[in-house]
């Protein structure tokens, strides 16, 4: 199989028993770790499946075979057990002027329910430790914030400031509630937290903004 031959030429990336061909599992993991590094370094848009395949020494068709679309590969790379496009769907159902509180309910609702939290914490941990920062930056700006920014008016620079500020408040709520576990925010009902922080997010999204970001 071409993929395996090419992969062996690319040198050892993980400990292997000598004299044995790497298995399917190893090839899959090589593709994923290569994708993770390239998405982290160059972002989602600038990274192609073809480039990931070349760097992993496999055929692009094999990447698609294992991971589906580039977007699905990225979701696998960040190791989030849900598809952001699906779980963020509730954000599309509210008017832009109600998006602030809905963001708190939807995003922290995912973290509250416990399925996403371990993966989210692992992602955050890897960002704070250093190596995962680029991946989290790309995930936030190109997957989550682009989704939100598409609903806002204003030029690209202004939208980038607005969504950046949204990211700061959402990340801060996550760190305060799930990492530092600061009371009363750690045990406050989600509806109450949405009432407290919703107007902040709404101002960042649609309120007057003193700085254009350019």
Footprint of its own copies (CB under 8 A): 121, 124-125, 127-129, 133, 136-137, 140-141, 157, 160-161, 164-165, 167-173, 175-177, 179-185, 188, 192-193, 195-197, 199-200, 203-204, 209-211, 213
The smaller minimum CB distance to its own copies, of residues 62 and 140, is found at 140
Longest dimension (CA), the chain: 65
- Report, in Å, the least distance between residue 95 CB and its own copies: 20
Cβ–Cβ < 8 Å for 152, 162 = yes
Residue number, 83 or 181, with CB nearest to its own copies: 181
- Name the CA dihedral angle for 53, 56, 58, 60, rounded to a multiple of 10 degrees: -10
In whole angstroms, the minimum distance from the beta carbon of 149 to its own copies comes to 13
CA-nearest of 120, 203, 190 to 161 is 203
Q: Which residues contact 60 (CB under 8 A, 6 or more apart)?
A: 49, 50, 53
Smaller CB separation from its own copies, 62 or 159: 159
Closest distance to its own copies from the beta carbon of 197 (Å) = 7
């Amino acid at each position: 199989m071409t993929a395996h031959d090419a992969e062996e030429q690319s040198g050892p990336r993980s400990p292997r028993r000598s004299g044995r061909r790497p298995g399917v599992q190893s090839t899959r993991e090589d593709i994923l770790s290569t994708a993770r590094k390239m998405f982290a370094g160059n972002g989602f848009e600038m990274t192609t499946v073809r480039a990931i395949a070349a760097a992993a020494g496999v055929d692009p068709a094999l990447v698609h075979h294992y991971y589906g679309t580039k977007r699905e590969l990225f979701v696998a790379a960040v190791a989030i057990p849900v598809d952001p496009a699906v779980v963020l769907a509730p954000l599309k159902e509210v008017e832009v002027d109600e998006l602030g509180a809905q963001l708190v309910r939807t995003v922290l609702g995912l973290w509250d329910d416990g399925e996403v939290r371990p993966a989210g914490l692992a992602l955050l941990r890897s960002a704070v430790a250093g190596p995962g920062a680029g991946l989290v930056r790309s995930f936030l700006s190109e997957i989550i914030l682009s989704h939100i920014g598409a609903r806002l008016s204003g030029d690209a620079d202004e939208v980038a400031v607005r969504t950046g500020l949204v990211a700061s408040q959402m990340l801060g709520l996550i760190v305060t509630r799930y990492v530092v576990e600061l009371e009363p925010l750690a045990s406050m009902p989600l509806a109450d937290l949405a009432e407290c922080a919703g107007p902040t997010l709404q101002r960042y999204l649609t309120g007057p903004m003193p700085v254009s970001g350019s």
